[in-house]
A and B are shown apart, each in its own frame.
Chain A
């Protein structure tokens, strides 16, 4: 698990839950909610994410938080289905589904949903707040991407300055509806990115933790969601922050089978150290150069004149008869 920057109350709850042996079920969800910021939930047609979002909402409600939901794609009744009254009382639903273009001129969204979002997390009470956006795709289709990004950033930052803990923003994003541009832009804003995938009837969540100034960490978790929106984890999760090299590549030792010597024995090393290099200017060499006129000749040269040798340098042609 990545090392958190600071422990919020949620984080301490997560540790407590783990220590009390409540089991792995809530651990994954709590780890997603512990750090605050934007949690981006990417789903697709085959692997729908709304149930996972509702499981996260249920987890937040159980921790005693107030949850604001901006509902754009399904009706309020459908959304609240499956939640018991305890959780439903903590969920505040802002309905954009029934009247998206505001034709009935009601006062729910006087200046647009983005303004309403910003108003949502102004601290009116000291309880921590979770905001669930169902869905971010709807917002991206109706508003420019940069405006949505700026609003999300303002929401996440709100938690830094206010006395409450960090605000959690859970955003559901339908991957297939968007090009790489908005996806990349939202990924770079998100603290945690969960991509839903799966094979043969089993769903997996690929979680990427992106804390600023830390290396990103990956985790893949197989799970299924029960009818009461609690999560049942299956198999083991694999946490990789340092991927291992392929175990099938054999490590070849390049120092084997060489034609030259790579290591020196002690004696060889001593001989090498005591060797004077040819251009090294040492005091002995200096002496030798200074006393280069030997009083006693140390070497002799013996020479036999050849037939063609010129013994008389003044008479090169040898025709002067002197």
Chain B
């Protein structure tokens, strides 16, 4: 075959020479693609897990936080293997909402959930999750929502002068369920059949610790120790740390911990400025980050930062987490009457964004971001 090609090189037309070269294996470049047989260990393959996507900046695997607006601010989503810390607002109105969006996103994407709380039972939390907005049954309602604010004067279309007219329109509303990042309707609960298909593990502190509660002399609070052991057990059971290599389908474990650092966990960080176990919370976060890094999991922790008395602990907690987002609601504060803020429900502060395998992080230039919770949408807007 190769001999015939070289003999015919001089006389033949360019087309046939090219064809001959193609058919022969003279080139050393091989096309890498998915093999038809799907054999194991056949070279590096792209890991495609439902509900994740690689980051466009550094190729890191990302999961959605449940809020597309927040995903955008964090550089595409929450990186797998990192901890997202949310500083609760004063009356704890909006941070449980973010917690529920995170868990609901996990259910819709088919991830495994681990819910830990000292205040409410995890089954109760899961019953309260918002229903996802799927497909175009809600597109027209989304448009309605947007149109409600428009006056008749501004109902005419904006004319764009030149080449943008030829570009396709960007979609701003809810799209089909296979996309990354969904919208949720907070006025409806998640449908029961969707909840039944979900795989979840719950950790409710009063059930795990039997009274009388003795004061533990060890470094970590008793409640934290139990929680860490539980997380480690679930991580190895689910195989997200790679301990079952024969498992073909990989899945992400979403860990949600509610109100860490509050006195209900047995932690004195909110009660006293200098307490005996003042390192308990920071040690917990350190071990948690180690567990999460070594597995395919993403963790969301809410902390009542306004209650923590010792500011040094707040600073350490911030540096021990990867991404830190602070919520400040206007309820009950003097900002509620400020006309500048009348359309919004609160401010959102992105305090820290991690540098994962990078020298710089994805920090946006805009520092004043405000959020508002509409009937079906949690929007974050910039620049008041």
Say whether A147 faces chain B, with CB atoms less than 8 Å apart. Answer: yes
B contact residues, range: 35 or more
Render A241-266 as a binary contact track against B, CB cut-off 8 A, 1 for contact.
Answer: 00111100000000000000000000
Does any Cβ of B come within 8 Å of A297's Cβ? no
Inter-chain contact A185/B332, CB cutoff 8 Å:
no
Chain A contributes a number of interface residues (CB within 8 A of B) equal to 38
Let me know if A145 and B332 touch, CB within 8 A.
no
B window 215-272: CB within 8 A of A = 215, 262-268, 270-272
* Cβ-closest chain A residue relative to B97: A213
Asked if A153 is at the interface of the complex by the 8 Å CB criterion, the answer is: yes
In the complex, how many angstroms separate the beta carbon of A147 from the nearest chain B beta carbon? 6
Q: Are A280 and B262 in contact (CB under 8 A)?
A: no
Contact with A145, one of B96, B263, B265 (Cβ below 8 angstroms)? B263
A184 at the interface (CB under 8 A from B): yes
Pair A153/B119 contact, Cβ less than 8 Å? yes
A212 at interface by CB-CB < 8 Å:
yes
Let me know if A280 and B272 touch, CB within 8 A: no
Q: By the criterion CB–CB under 8 Å, are B337 and A246 in contact?
A: yes
CA distance A144 to B280 in the complex (A): 15
A179 in contact with B339 (CB, 8 Å) = no
Tell me if A142 counts as interface (CB < 8 A to partner B): no
With A179-B309, A188-B307, A216-B331 known as contacts, the answer to whether A157 contacts B206 (CB < 8 A) is: yes
Once bound together, how far apart are the Cα atoms of A189 and B339, in whole Å?
32
| Interface status of B37 (Cβ within 8 A of chain A) | no
Residue of B nearest to A275 (CB): B159
Interface residue stretch chosen among A28-36, A110-118, A123-131, A287-295: A110-118
B286 an interface residue at 8 Å Cβ cutoff?
A: no
Chain B residues with Cβ below 8 Å from A144 are 215, 268, 271
Given A179-B273, A179-B309, A245-B337, are A149 and B264 neighbors across the interface (CB < 8 Å)?
Answer: yes
Q: Are B331 and A184 in contact (CB under 8 A)?
A: no
CA A181 to CA B355, docked complex, whole Å: 34
Q: Which residues of B contact A243 (CB under 8 A)?
A: 336-337
Given contacts A180-B309, A181-B273, contact A146 B267 (CB under 8 A): yes
CB distance from B165 to the nearest CB of A (A): 8
Closest-CB distance, B341 to chain A (whole angstroms): 11
Q: Is B3 an interface residue (CB 8 A)?
A: no
A182, CB-defined interface residue at 8 Å: yes
Cα distance, A61 to B341, chains bound together (Å): 46
Cross-chain contact B264 with A150 (CB below 8 angstroms): yes
Q: Which residues of A contact B212 (CB under 8 A)?
A: 111-112, 114-115
**CA of A188 to CA of B305 in the docked complex: distance in angstroms?**
12
CB distance from A117 to the nearest CB of B (A): 11
B211 touching A182, Cβ below 8 Å: no
User: Given contacts A115-B211, A216-B91, A244-B337, are A146 and B266 in contact (CB under 8 A)?
Assistant: yes
In the bound complex, CA of A115 to CA of B210 (Å):
12
Partner of B332, one of A150, A179, A212, A216: A216
Residues on A with C-beta less than 8 A from B265 are: 146
Q: Are A146 and B93 in contact (CB under 8 A)?
A: no
| CB nearest to A149 among chain B residues | B263
The reply on A141 being an interface residue by CB < 8 A is no
**In the complex the two chains form, is A146's CB within 8 Å of B307's CB?**
no
**Chain A residues with CB under 8 A of B332:** 216
- A141–B119 CA distance with the chains assembled, in angstroms: 24
Which residue of chain A is the closest to B159 with respect to CB atoms? A277
Looking at the assembled complex, report how far the CB atom of B87 sits from the nearest CB atom of chain A, in whole angstroms. Answer: 14
Q: How far is the CA of A185 from the CA of B161 in the complex (A)?
A: 58
Among B159, B165, B263, contact of A185 (Cβ-Cβ < 8 Å): B263
Q: How far is the CA of A114 from the CA of B214 in the complex (A)?
A: 12
Known: A215-B331, A243-B336. A185 touches B162 (CB 8 A): no
In the complex the two chains form, is B309's CB within 8 Å of A154's CB?
Answer: no
Most B CB within 10 A of own CB, among A147, A184, A188, A244: A188
A122 CA to B264 CA, complexed, in Å? 20
11 new A-B contacts, CB < 8 A, other than A148-B263, A243-B337, are: A112-B212, A146-B268, A149-B271, A150-B213, A150-B263, A181-B273, A185-B307, A188-B307, A214-B93, A277-B161, A280-B165
A interface residues (Cβ-Cβ under 8 A, vs B): 111-112, 114-115, 118, 144-150, 153-154, 157, 179-182, 184-185, 188-189, 210, 212-216, 243-246, 277-281
5 A-B residue pairs with Cβ-Cβ distance under 8 Å, sorted by A, are A185-B270, A188-B307, A213-B93, A213-B96, A279-B161
